[in-house]
Structure 1
Amino acid sequence: MKKGLIAIVAVLVIIGILAASVFGSYNSLVALDEKVNNQWANVESKLQRRYDLIPNLVESVKGAMAQEKEVFTAIADARSKMAGAQTTDEKVEASNQLESAIGRLLVVVENYPELRSNANVTALMDELAGTENRISTERDRYNEAVSQYNATIRKFPKNILAGMFGFEQRSYFEATEGAETAPQVKFN
């Protein structure tokens, strides 16, 4: 009788240890998933700041730069696309288009000394530069969170648990093709 009781206790201890391991692994996957979601929310917050700031920048510069309609049209189009983006991938694509258009505008402003001396334009350009730096930082943090999450759900034995509970790999925030090339501004 004593041997049977010891065997039952041993089996219960082993089951308890396995259950605790599964619960701990599941909870760590949930925590990593939430970290990725939180980082994406931080990226979106900074993208929203940029989205809200752009109309002020454009209106401040527009009057002095009527000849640069192409740049303003690109910014307006990209901003509209950003407003309509629903998925993470659509938001990334729209953000990259907006970033490209803003880059062209920054080059234009740098080439117009009278605009650089305008206090409103200078203040808005500083705000925009600060916003772009914040976005870059949050993108990097998001990609770090995605990297940690993706690596965890692919490693054994958590990959089994991740598959059972539907944890799927997340997409990185990547630059668009051609982002490594500086924008070209041509004066006619």
Structure 2
Amino acid sequence: MNWIIILAIAAGGLALYAVAVYNRLVGLRQRTREAWSGIDVQLKRRSNLIPNLVETVRGYVTHEKDLLDQITRSRAAASGSDSVAERAAVEGQLGAVLGRLFAVAEAYPDLKASRNFQDLHASLDGIERDIQHVRRYYNGAVRMLNIAVQSFPSNLIAGLFGFRQADYFELDDPSERAVPQVAF
């Protein structure tokens, strides 16, 4: 009879532990989704700023139509990407093209002196900083989720209930990691 009580207590303790691990995994998954939403918001802010930037530059830069078209295509591709890895790659390309735009602006003193261009450049700088902050937060949330999904014994609960590892938001091309040197 005593062994039945001990077995019932052990089963109850195991069930409570499984519930606690499951709830922790749910919380980590939600934190990761919330962090991705933060990245998405900042990327949309940047995407919404780009048409204003292109129109401002278009008035000054007459020989750079190809670059402006490339920015427009990159922006469209960024809005159509689905996975985290695909979105990171496309956003990295968009960032590189924007860096080229600011480098080209060096050759146009009237453009650099334009208050509208300066304001847009300052806004884009702020958004880029915000993207870096939310990206670090997202990657931290992904790290915590991935550790819980891979670690024993929580990996047993994760596998049982279909929790999967999340992808980091990272740049694949080392040249995309380089910050463009732009001096105004």
Do the structures match in fold with TM over 0.5? yes
Residue 37 in structure 1 maps to residue 33 in structure 2? yes
The corresponding residue for 1:152 is 148
SS in 2 for 1:67: coil
Deviation digits for residues 53-89 of structure 1 (CA, Å, limit 9, x no counterpart): 1000110111100111222122111011012222323
Q: Following the alignment from structure 2 to structure 1, what is the Cα–Cα distance between the partners of residues 68 and 131?
A: 21
The corresponding residue for 1:180 is 177
1:79 is aligned with what amino acid?
R
SS in 2 for 1:26: helix
Q: Following the alignment from structure 2 to structure 1, what is the Cα–Cα distance between the partners of residues 78 and 110?
A: 31
1:24-173 pair list within 5 angstroms: 24-173=20-169
Query: Which stretches of structure 1, 4 residues or longer, exceed 4 Å deviation after superposition?
Result: 181-185
Structure 2: stretches of 5+ with no match in the other structure: none
Aligned residues: 181
SS in 1 for 2:165: coil
Range moving further from structure 2, 91-100 or 45-54: 91-100
Q: Following the alignment from structure 2 to structure 1, what is the Cα–Cα distance between the partners of residues 44 and 88?
A: 13
Q: Following the alignment from structure 2 to structure 1, what is the Cα–Cα distance between the partners of residues 124 and 107?
A: 17
- Aligned-residue CA RMSD in angstroms? 1.8
Structure 1 residues 183 and 29 mapped into 2: Cα distance closer, same or farther (>3 Å)? same
Shift of 1:104: 0.9
Deviation digits for residues 133-183 of structure 1 (CA, Å, limit 9, x no counterpart): 111111111111111111111111111111111111111111131213456
Deviation digits for residues 27-70 of structure 1 (CA, Å, limit 9, x no counterpart): 10111011111100000000000111100011011110011122
Q: Following the alignment from structure 1 to structure 2, what is the Cα–Cα distance between the partners of residues 38 and 184?
A: 33
Give the one of 18, 26, 36 matched to 1:22: 18
2:126 is aligned with what amino acid?
G
Q: Following the alignment from structure 2 to structure 1, what is the Cα–Cα distance between the partners of residues 83 and 177?
A: 24
Q: Following the alignment from structure 2 to structure 1, what is the Cα–Cα distance between the partners of residues 5 and 106?
A: 77
Shift of 1:184: 9.3
**Taking every aligned residue pair, what percent have the same amino acid on both sides?**
36
Q: Is the 8 A contact 2:32 2:142 kept in 1?
A: yes
Q: Is the 8 A contact 1:78 1:97 kept in 2?
A: yes
Who wins on radius of gyration, i.e. which is larger? Answer: 1
